[in-house]
């Protein structure tokens, strides 16, 4: 950390935008987080008729302010990265673009309704800011447990869907259109609603036989929930045990610095070059 | 694998249809899988009035094409097996017949509604194609855990049903016909809906006493769900531990070849004769 | 088992009624089981208006036949036990009386509605017949696990009720009478419906603030369910582990014979006297 | 315990009010518990219109009696503690005041509706009386397990909320106002109702595409529930194992005495001075 290298303004900006270890970087992240959450709340309020009609101008101006802030951030991100194309076509690069552009498009096309959805994507950006490093470390076992149980949960979900299709067809034949089971896809939808114990009640069996089969579906669904839960908890317990036996090497600290070239993160504190692309790292 | 034996066209066809280790066998399985899923989607679309009235002819023709394909496959399966009766009366043999025949019957009897259900059985055939070997290996622990907890889950389900019958009768007496609890079977149905936390809301208690007892039923149901989940996860963890202690003999590879005579699968790669019936195996 | 003792008809009848090890005893249990289940189905059908009006006489006669059969059984049970008072005031003795008597009372008082409930108690008798010995052995761990987690589950349920009362009051103040939250008890009922994820939907929040708090209640309820499940599965796993370490003494066979004097069961096969009261046991 | 010291009436009263080890202290706690529960039932009954109109005077008088009892208790608590300010601004001190004061305010302002909520806070006092020492000891593992899984459950809840916001926006766009998804906040509310498997059914998707996405939401919610359950049960099992390996020092008995000065509890039986503030302890 004692090493001080000549850093251009671009490198400084890179550190502020992409990293969270310096005070300026932390401040940037906090401001960005607040902006994103504000923006999401604005999108929500805009959809409420009574609020939109009262405060339409205020909401419109706020949205423009946020859009411009996001645009500046987007450009800054492109400038400070060595290979902009890598950022632009990365997952977060696309999310950043999609969540910034709707307001500009609305200028050309008019306030298209469906663009609101794109703005909701801004919420995904929260994941980047939080970097979730601290939490991800904590929930590493969980991620491993979920990975280990992936295949079993797939088989399980596959079985649930097959059961839903077959029982849905049976319910369609028993209950019929007059009781709301208008067609097979709707019956299958009802069957999923029931198997997952959600039970909206917008469609409900009326005939005694239908109610009997519905009872079986419910008890089945109630029993089925034990399977993924059992798998995850056993696998998770397994992960914890395995970890205990391994020597702990958590004393190696990985910082949140990200490479200017390839955006790779989690470098060791004493690393001078990116482990991924060999690019020189600046503090 | 170096052993090459004189194989008739029947044996070749057998390999394509019943096995998945050769490229031709894999291709056959993939095509069959697509056909089955297409056919299920057609059955679903046919039940949607608005779609059926528009595309009736297209759906009808597609259904005929699929029925004829399935018929050819069914006949091919009979021809290539040494003892056709064994295939015909096997589980999948019956499923195959039932899911092929409805369209032919509709020629004689007219489009009988209830035949759609039989066509939904085609979905069960998916299990055979996938053979689920890879997954079943992975979820072997799960199957063992479910087997080990079978007796306990039966006792549990039995207790749930008794509780539902007794509390259902009580609710019938308290709420009565005027609040939707028209008769005891319907009250028992309501009780199962509530115990399993589905809660359609088509029937709901109206009297204070009824709502009080309903609250008890809900809390009971909420607590009860812990039991099967606890059993499955503990048994599953148990299975995992037992497995670890046993010597692993997973280096013996079992292929997906199936015997021409008795349809038994999971032969060892170097097996020349079926472990089940002694029939010669061809590669 | 080679020992044959002079047994009176009373002892023989006792063996048939109270035990399940002899062929006659097994036959008696099977017949009783069928009678009970038939009787429960009759009680259910009787409550269905359309069925009752059609087959009133048939149902009435069947009910009389079953009532007389149960009466004979009740008297036989009293005669064959040495201390009848012990049987009469035992749990099953009371259940037997309550589930037999309604039809006789209806002669005097007329078909009183509420007596149907008493007849549903017959279902509890199923537990005795099954004796559930085989299953209880299997689920002994489960019973121990539930016992071990009793205190924790009580605290948990207590906390759930307090949360329901406080949040119910809050919802009553926010939503008020005009949205179906007519009074605090009803709001608490709604809160339990929501916390347990049943969600009937007969009462649902209409105001934005109400829906926001309802969301919190739901997420809370969704998280809370993890607690009893976690407790039961951990305790159950614990029980299984403890059991493994103990020496297994399951080679001692306990038969289903029950003492003529005190009705105690689970005597060892070679026992000549009741371990509970010292009464001579007959094979 | 053999040590007897000169104790003033204030010390005696302190022991009765704050402690549960003496017969008088136990009696006080039981009476207080009954008073609180009675008071909560009164608050509930008062909100039921039909009961309130019939028994208005009775309910009013009972409420005054309870308020006065609570006032006396509150004053006694202030008098007997050495540093009253410490009690007054403690959590329970504020709860005590808030749950006593509403009736007095209603004299000045008239029967304000919202004050009922404050009276429901009385229920929180139950926690103090029970002191829950016995139970908390039993569920210590549980508390530790919940603490250990706090970070993971936070990440999990955070993910659930993000999913609800994004899917809620999507559903708003698909279903639109005409099907009850009036605005984004309401759609998000619906999404939480569905993800948690509550399913009120006051809002339900009507379009085929909406029902398809709703099915995905349900299956997701159904799978998600496995995560917190798995975490809690694995952590809980972990806690139990850790405990076993540690030497048990539960033979040190901590009594329920509370220091007159700082209200700290759980002193060792042979302690003469408070471990927290050094104040002399009286038996």
B126: which chain A residues are within 8 Å (Cβ-Cβ)?
Answer: 162
Which positions 53-112 of D are in contact with C (Cβ < 8 Å)?
Answer: none
- C-alpha distances (whole Å) from D245 to each of A236, B221, D239, D242 are 21, 36, 10, 5
Which residues contact residue D214 at a Cβ distance below 8 angstroms, ignoring those fewer than 6 apart? Answer: A189, A193, D171, D194, D204, D205
Query: CA–CA separation, D183 vs D185, rounded Å?
Result: 6
Q: How far B20 CA lies from chain C's nearest CA (Å)?
A: 40
B142: which chain A residues are within 8 Å (Cβ-Cβ)?
Answer: 152, 227, 231
Helix (H, G, I), strand (E, B) or coil at A267: strand
A7 touches chain D (CB under 8 A): no
Mean pLDDT, residues D103-131 taken together: 71
Q: Touching B: which chains, 3+ CB pairs < 8 A?
A: A, C, D
Chain B interface, best mutation among A145, A193, A223, by max B CB count within 10 A: A223
Q: How far B231 CA lies from chain C's nearest CA (Å)?
A: 6
Whole-number pLDDT of residue C4: 46
C159: which chain D residues are within 8 Å (Cβ-Cβ)?
Answer: none
Which residues contact residue D253 at a Cβ distance below 8 angstroms, ignoring those fewer than 6 apart? Answer: D268, D269
Mean pLDDT, residues C184-201 taken together: 91
B233: which chain D residues are within 8 Å (Cβ-Cβ)?
Answer: 230, 233
Percent pLDDT > 70 in chain D is 72
Q: How far A190 CA lies from chain C's nearest CA (Å)?
A: 16
> What are the start-end ranges of the H helices in chain B?
9-18, 23-47, 49-80, 84-88, 91-100, 102-109, 115-120, 122-130, 133-138, 140-148, 150-175, 184-195, 208-224, 226-245
Is C155's CB within 8 Å of D145's CB? Answer: no
Out of B162, B169, B183, closest to residue C49 by CB: B183
Mean pLDDT, residues D183-211 taken together: 91
CA-based nearest residue to C232, from B232, B172, D170, B127: B232
Percent pLDDT > 90 in chain C is 12
B157 touches chain C (CB under 8 A): no
pLDDT score of B54 more than 80: yes
- C-alpha distances (whole Å) from B215 to each of A40, B208, C164 are 38, 10, 11
Which residues contact residue D243 at a Cβ distance below 8 angstroms, ignoring those fewer than 6 apart? Answer: D141
Is D160's CB within 8 Å of C219's CB? Answer: yes
Is D132's CB within 8 Å of C155's CB? Answer: yes
Strands C254-255 and C267-268: antiparallel
Enter the tokens of residue A231.
């798998």
Mean pLDDT for each 10-residue chunk of chain A (283 residues)?
Answer: 56 79 82 87 87 89 91 90 86 84 78 66 72 50 71 75 87 87 91 90 90 90 78 73 49 57 60 62 55
Whole-number pLDDT of residue D31: 87
CA-based nearest residue to A173, from A191, A192, A198, A193: A191
Out of A197, A211, A227, closest to residue B197 by CB: A197
Lowest-pLDDT choice from A132-141, D27-36, D244-253: D244-253
Is C229's CB within 8 Å of B234's CB? Answer: no
Region class of B199: left (phi > 0), else alpha (psi between -120 and 50), else beta: left
A225 touches chain B (CB under 8 A): yes
pLDDT score of C249 more than 60: no
Closest residue in A to D213 (Cα–Cα): A189
Out of D123, D196, D229, closest to residue C166 by CB: D123
Closest residue in B to D225 (Cα–Cα): B229
Is D236's CB within 8 Å of C237's CB? Answer: no
Strands (E) across chain D are located at: 254-255, 267-268
Query: CA–CA separation, B186 vs B203, rounded Å?
Result: 9
Chain B interface, best mutation among C141, C146, C168, C196, by max B CB count within 10 A: C196
Whole-number pLDDT of residue A115: 67
What's the burial of A216, exposed, middle or buried (CB within 10 Å: 0-12/13-18/19+)? Answer: exposed
Is B194's CB within 8 Å of C199's CB? Answer: no
Mean pLDDT, residues B8-27 taken together: 80
Query: CA–CA separation, C33 vs C22, rounded Å?
Result: 17
Enter the tokens of residue B75.
């006949």
Query: CA–CA separation, B204 vs D20, rounded Å?
Result: 44
Whole-number pLDDT of residue D247: 42
Which residues contact residue D280 at a Cβ distance below 8 angstroms, ignoring those fewer than 6 apart? Answer: D272, D273, D274
Which residues contact residue B54 at a Cβ distance below 8 angstroms, ignoring those fewer than 6 apart? Answer: none
pLDDT score of C233 more than 50: yes
Enter the tokens of residue C141.
């761990």
pLDDT tens for each residue of D83-104: 888 888 888 888 888 888 888 8
Query: CA–CA separation, A175 vs A187, rounded Å?
Result: 9
Whole-number pLDDT of residue B157: 78
A230 touches chain C (CB under 8 A): yes
Stronger pLDDT, D252 or B241, i.e. the higher one: B241
Which residues contact residue D74 at a Cβ distance below 8 angstroms, ignoring those fewer than 6 apart? Answer: D96, D97, D100
Q: How far D150 CA lies from chain A's nearest CA (Å)?
A: 10
CA-based nearest residue to D73, from D109, D42, D99, D45: D99
- C-alpha distances (whole Å) from D154 to each of A37, A207, B91, D95, D151 are 18, 44, 48, 28, 5
Enter the tokens of residue A133.
């490093």
Q: State chain B's mean pLDDT as an integer.
A: 77
Whole-number pLDDT of residue B136: 47
Out of D48, D188, D236, closest to residue C185 by CB: D48
Query: CA–CA separation, C99 vs C115, rounded Å?
Result: 9
Mean pLDDT, residues C132-158 taken together: 65
H/E stretch holding D57: helix D49-80
Q: Return the axis-axis angle of helices D208-224 and A184-195, rounded to nearest 10°.
A: 20
Q: How far D116 CA lies from chain A's nearest CA (Å)?
A: 31
Q: Which residues pair with D273 in a beta bridge?
A: D280
Enter the tokens of residue C17.
């009624």
pLDDT score of B22 more than 50: yes
Closest residue in A to C197 (Cα–Cα): A198
Closest residue in A to D194 (Cα–Cα): A198
- C-alpha distances (whole Å) from B268 to each of B26, B254, B259, B275, C159 are 19, 5, 12, 9, 58
Mean pLDDT, residues D255-270 taken together: 61
Query: CA–CA separation, B184 vs C67, rounded Å?
Result: 20
> What are the start-end ranges of the H helices in chain C?
9-18, 23-47, 49-80, 84-88, 91-100, 102-109, 115-120, 122-130, 133-138, 140-148, 150-175, 184-195, 208-224, 226-245
The pTM for the full model equals 0.79
Is B201's CB within 8 Å of D197's CB? Answer: no
Q: Which residues of B228-248 are buried (b: 16+ CB within 10 A; e: fewer)?
A: bbbbbbbbbbbbbbeeeeeee
C199: which chain A residues are within 8 Å (Cβ-Cβ)?
Answer: 198-199
Out of D117, D132, D189, closest to residue C169 by CB: D117
- C-alpha distances (whole Å) from B145 to each of B140, B151, B242, B249, D258 are 8, 11, 11, 20, 50
Q: Touching A: which chains, 3+ CB pairs < 8 A?
A: B, C, D
Is C192's CB within 8 Å of B215's CB? Answer: yes
Q: What angle do CA C215, C219, C222 make, to 5 degrees?
A: 140
Query: CA–CA separation, B59 vs B153, rounded Å?
Result: 44
Q: State chain C's mean pLDDT as an integer.
A: 77
CA-based nearest residue to D234, from C152, C154, A143, C229: C229
Whole-number pLDDT of residue A124: 76
Is A155's CB within 8 Å of B145's CB? Answer: no
B223 touches chain D (CB under 8 A): no
**pLDDT confidence band for B186 (50 / 70 / 90):** very high
Q: Which residues pair with C99 in a beta bridge?
A: none
Whole-number pLDDT of residue A133: 44
Out of B199, B200, B233, closest to residue D233 by CB: B233
Domains of chain C: 2-131 (1.20.120), 144-245 (1.10.287.70)
CA-based nearest residue to A160, from C58, D221, D102: D221
User: What does the DSSP 8-state code read for residue D20?
Assistant: S
D192: which chain C residues are within 8 Å (Cβ-Cβ)?
Answer: 215, 218-219
CB atoms within 10 A of CB D76: 16
Strands (E) across chain A are located at: 254-255, 267-268
């Amino acid at each position: 950390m004692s090493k001080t290298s000549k850093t251009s303004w671009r490198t400084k900006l890179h550190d502020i935008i992409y990293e969270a270890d310096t005070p300026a970087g932390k401040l940037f992240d906090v401001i960005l987080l607040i902006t994103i959450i504000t923006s999401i709340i604005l999108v929500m309020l805009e959809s409420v008729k009574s609020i939109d009609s009262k405060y339409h101008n205020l909401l419109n101006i706020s949205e423009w302010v946020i859009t411009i802030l996001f645009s500046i951030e987007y450009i800054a991100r492109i400038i400070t990265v060595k290979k902009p194309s890598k950022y632009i076509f990365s997952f977060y690069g696309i999310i950043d673009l999609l969540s910034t552009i709707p307001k500009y498009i609305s200028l050309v096309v008019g306030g298209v309704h469906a663009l609101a959805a794109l703005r909701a994507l801004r919420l995904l950006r929260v994941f980047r800011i939080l970097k979730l490093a601290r939490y991800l470390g904590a929930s590493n076992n969980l991620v491993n447990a979920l990975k280990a149980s992936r295949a079993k949960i797939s088989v399980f979900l596959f079985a649930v869907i097959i059961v839903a299709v077959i029982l849905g067809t049976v319910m369609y034949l028993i209950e019929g259109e007059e009781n709301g089971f208008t067609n097979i896809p709707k019956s299958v939808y009802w069957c999923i609603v029931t198997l997952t114990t959600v039970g909206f009640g917008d469609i409900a069996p009326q005939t005694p036989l239908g109610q009997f089969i519905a009872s079986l579906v419910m008890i089945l669904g109630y029993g089925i929930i034990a399977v993924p839960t059992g798998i995850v908890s056993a696998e998770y317990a397994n992960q914890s045990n395995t970890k205990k036996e391994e020597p702990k090497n958590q004393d190696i600290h990985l910082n949140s610095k990200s490479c200017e070239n390839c955006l790779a993160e989690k470098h060791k504190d004493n690393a001078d070059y990116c482990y991924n692309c060999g690019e020189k790292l600046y503090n």
